[in-house]
Amino acid sequence: MKSDHRDLIVIGAGPAGQSAAIEAARAGASVTLIDRAPRPGGECVRRGTIPSKALQQIARDLRRLRSSAAELIDEEIVPRLSLECALRRVGAIIAAHEETIAERLQTEGVHYLRGSARFLDRDRLRIEIPGAETHDLSASKFIVATGSRPREVPGYPIDHEWIFDSDSVLSLARLPESMLVVGGGVIGSEYASIFSCLGVRVTLVDRGGRPLGFLDEDLSESFLASFREGGGVFVPDARVASMETDGFSSVRTELEDGRVFTSERSLVTLGRQADVGRLDLGRVGIRLSPRGLVPVDASFRTENEKIFAVGDVIGPPALAASAFEQGRLAARRALELGREAAEGLVPTGIYTVPEIATIGLDRARAEVEEREVITGRVHFGELARGQIAGLQDGYLELIADEKGKKLLGVAVIGEGATDLVHLGQAAILSGWEVDALVKNVFNFPTMGEAYRHAALRILDQRRVALCV
């Protein structure tokens, strides 16, 4: 058995672990990044963000192809998806991204070790390496970035053949005719809209009154209208009493109120929990929270002062986007490279079809806080670029303070929302006033111009307010 010492060991090579390891290597520390997978990237690349976004892109492409074909081509063309081809494309995207990450880690001087890690004590890890000698490593500091897995909820017999979770859904052998999706959170709504767009009859059930219920009502209602227009069915206030498959052709789902749904396949998305089962955290004095997460302080330090935790293991926002930043900050703290506070302004990006993105204050929070705001909204169909691109749905809304001066938030729904929101993020972080969005010249015709038009609407309201 070999043994070695490092300044820092990072367990888990997803977004959180990669950025922690890179930050440490850049600072000249000896760092090893361990993951049980043959290649770095994490569940983010293998089963989470990247494959789901690749499938969303395919769904958007197909939708676009259908509408263009209907308008521009004489012959009737009904593009149908070949799931096999789509999944081949998803696989190629995953491989390309894994390659990029591996090269980046190598360039940055990060030592990557494949193996499954568990704590022996507060200084040492045991690494089980498939087909090789077990390896013990010691380190001055550790960062746990082992991610999450679907939350196990009793009563859902997930078999990955008829009833799937978000980790297994892309192992579908073919597109089913119909699918019942349980859970109208981000992952459930994303997959429900993607599969609907791909031609599957989707029923989305949620115990709340609307999907994506944490968003302001206009955004989630707009999403719902679009989902319904595409043939999706949403069942609100639904509590699942039982779910079972006949193992032959379908899944039967019964709600507590007696309603029964039969679908060819089912997808259960009821949240995620920290993936720490094999780490033996108890040995190093770390207890999980009642929600199954690793508790940390503002510096990402766990109950054990030598051990930090970042990414999905610590819970919300549980996004790849924030995991990168958490990893970087935790490495700085662990190696005492100087304090940096986490940036509070994190955008929300929801890759449904259509996409949704927000930054800063939203209407819902303004209402809860009884804050007076002035909003300006422009529909994509009003913009020259929107008309050229044939975008019927979608809008961008700016939220300003009660004087209509200071920009506080941006909400976007529609094509390209997750990119479009970044201009608003930069504007808010730079402290721009709404006027700056009007005074600046935007390329014409572009979707970015939406900012100018929405700002003009705020200015109009300001003028009206001054006249009364």
Ligand X SMILES: Cc1cc2nc3c(=O)[nH]c(=O)nc-3n(C[C@H](O)[C@H](O)[C@H](O)COP(=O)(O)OP(=O)(O)OC[C@H]3O[C@@H](n4cnc5c(N)ncnc54)[C@H](O)[C@@H]3O)c2cc1C
Query: Footprint of ligand X on residues 158-187 (CB under 6 A)?
Result: 166, 187
Complex with ligand X: residue 37 or 438, whichever CB lies closer = 37
Instruction: Please identify which residue in 4, 7, 26, 36 interacts with ligand X, judged by CB under 6 A.
Output: 36
Contact characters 101-140, ligand X, x per CB under 6 A: ---------------xx-----------------------
- Residue 43 near ligand X by CB under 6 A: yes
What is the spatial distance between Cα 382 and Cα 236, in angstroms, rounded to a whole number? 32
Q: 300 and 19 in contact (C-beta within 8 Å)?
A: no
- Compute the least distance from the CB of residue 425 to ligand X, in Å: 14
Q: How many alpha carbons lie under 13 Å from residue 24 in its C-beta half-sphere?
A: 29
Beta carbons within 10 angstroms of residue 153's beta carbon: 14
DSSP 53-120: HHHHHHHHHHHHHHHHHHHH-SS-------HHHHHHHHHHHHHHHHHHHHHHHHHHTPEEEESEEEES
- The conformation of residue 174, written as its DSSP 8-state character, comes to S
Which residue carries 């749904």 as its tokens? 261
Instruction: Please identify which residue in 32, 49, 250, 253 interacts with ligand X, judged by CB under 6 A.
Output: 49
- Residue 265 near ligand X by CB under 6 A: no
Q: Tell me how many residues contact ligand X (CB under 6 A).
A: 38
What is the spatial distance between Cα 343 and Cα 329, in angstroms, rounded to a whole number? 10
- Residue 356 near ligand X by CB under 6 A: no
Q: Name residues whose C-beta falls within 8 Å of residue 28's C-beta, 6 or more positions apart in sequence.
A: none
Hey, is 240 helix, strand or coil?
A: strand
Instruction: Please identify which residue in 10, 25, 42, 156 interacts with ligand X, judged by CB under 6 A.
Output: 42
Contact characters 428-457, ligand X, x per CB under 6 A: ------------------------------
Stretch that binds ligand X, among 63-71, 144-152, 365-373, 460-468 (CB under 6 A): 144-152
Q: Name residues whose C-beta falls within 8 Å of residue 108's C-beta, 6 or more positions apart in sequence.
A: 21, 22, 25, 26
402-434 residues labelled b (16+ CB within 10 A) or e (exposed): eebeebbbbbbbbbbbbebbebbbebbeeebbb
Query: Which helix or strand (DSSP H or E) is residue 253 part of?
Result: strand 251-255
Stretch that binds ligand X, among 80-88, 227-235, 315-323, 380-388 (CB under 6 A): 315-323
In single-letter form, the type of residue at position 61 comes to D
- Compute the least distance from the CB of residue 130 to ligand X, in Å: 12
What is the spatial distance between Cα 129 and Cα 146, in angstroms, rounded to a whole number? 16
- Compute the least distance from the CB of residue 350 to ligand X, in Å: 8
- Compute the least distance from the CB of residue 172 to ligand X, in Å: 14
- Compute the least distance from the CB of residue 138 to ligand X, in Å: 16
Instruction: Please identify which residue in 320, 421, 423, 437 interacts with ligand X, judged by CB under 6 A.
Output: 320
Complex with ligand X: residue 18 or 250, whichever CB lies closer = 18
- Residue 323 near ligand X by CB under 6 A: yes
Q: Rounded to the nearest 5 degrees, what angle is found at the Cα of 188, between the Cα atoms of 186 and 192? A: 120
* CA dihedral for 326, 329, 335, 336, sign (positive or negative): negative
Taking CA atoms, 129 is separated from 12, 38, 113, 116, 132, in Å, by 14, 10, 9, 7, 5
Complex with ligand X: residue 359 or 374, whichever CB lies closer = 359
Complex with ligand X: residue 267 or 383, whichever CB lies closer = 267
- Compute the least distance from the CB of residue 146 to ligand X, in Å: 3
Stretch that binds ligand X, among 272-280, 288-296, 368-376, 449-457 (CB under 6 A): 272-280
Complex with ligand X: residue 127 or 407, whichever CB lies closer = 127
Complex with ligand X: residue 35 or 362, whichever CB lies closer = 35
- Residue 199 near ligand X by CB under 6 A: no
Complex with ligand X: residue 190 or 216, whichever CB lies closer = 190
Length of the chain: 468
Binding residues for ligand X, rule: CB under 6 A, are 11-17, 34-37, 42-44, 48-49, 52-53, 116-117, 145-148, 166, 187, 275, 278-279, 311-312, 318-321, 323, 349, 351
